[in-house]
Amino acid sequence: MVNKREAYVQQLFVKEDEVLRSIEPGLFERGMPKISVSPNVGKTLHMLVRITGARRVLEIGTLGGYSTIWLSRALPKDGRLVSLELSADHAAFARENVERAGLADRVEISVGNAKESLQQLADEGETFDFFLIDADKESYLTYWEWAIRLARPGAVITADNALFHDLIFEENVQDERARAILRFNEAVSQDDRVEAMLLPFGDGLLVAQVKD
C-alpha cells in the first residue's frame, strides 16, 4: 500500500510508460515475486545516473527489468548496463521488457550465480560508474565489497530495501533478511571508503559515493 506522501510524489514526478506499467502485472501472471523497486525509487535511480554522468552501470538482481529500464534510459547512447540475475525465467522476462523499451543495444543480462559473475567481471578487468544492489539480502555485504572492488573513483553505489519493510525497527528482529540489512546498513555507515546516506522513501534507498 503506497502512503499518501509516496503517492503524491509519484503522481507529480514519476511518468511510467506502457512498458514500465506492464511489468508488475506481468510478474503476477508468471507467478514471479512483485518486488521491483518502487516507481519513486526507479525515477530517483534514473536521476542519479544522469546527474553523475555514469556510462557503465552494474545491477545485481534483475527480476522483470523494471529498475533495469529506469537505469539504462538514463545512459548515453554508448553507455552499457550489465545486470546479474540468478533465475533464467526472470532474465527471459526482463529481456522481453528491455527489448520492448528499445534498450537491448545497451543492456546485457547475465544469468547465473552473481558471485561467480562478479568474479568473472573482475577477472576481465571490468569497472563501473554506478551500481544497484537489489538481490538476496543475506549477501548484501558480499555484493557491497564486490561493488567497491569494481568501482571507478567517485562511483555511486546504491542498494534497495535498506529499511526492509520496516522489519528492521522491531524490538527483537527475527527475520534473517532484516537482520542482514541491519548488519549491512551498520557496516556501510562506518565504511570510511565512502560517503553514504540512507534515503527513507520507498523501502529505503541507500546511496553511497566511493571516495577518490
Q: How many domains are contained in the chain? A: 1
pLDDT in tens, 167-206: 999 999 999 999 999 999 999 999 999 999 999 999 999 9
Question: What is the Cα–Cα distance from 170 to 145, expressed in whole angstroms?
Answer: 27
CATH of residue 200: 3.40.50.150
Q: Which three cell numbers stand for residue 129?
A: 560508474
pLDDT of residue 1: 58
Instruction: Give the list of residues 6+ apart from residue 116 with CB closer than 8 angstroms, or none.
Output: none
Check pLDDT > 70 for residue 148: yes
Model confidence, pTM: 0.96
Given CA atoms 125, 192, 210, 166 in this order, what sign does their dihedral have? positive
pLDDT of residue 140: 98
Check pLDDT > 70 for residue 60: yes
pLDDT in tens, 62-89: 999 999 999 999 999 999 999 999 999 9
Provide the percentage of residues in the chain whose pLDDT is more than 90. Answer: 98
Strands 128-133 and 194-199: unpaired
In 57-175, where does DSSP find H-type helix? 66-73, 88-100, 114-123, 140-150
Q: If you average pLDDT over residues 47-52, what whole number do you get?
A: 98
Beta-strand (E) ranges in 140-202? 151-159, 194-199
pLDDT averaged over the chain?
97
Containing structural domain, residue 196: 4-210
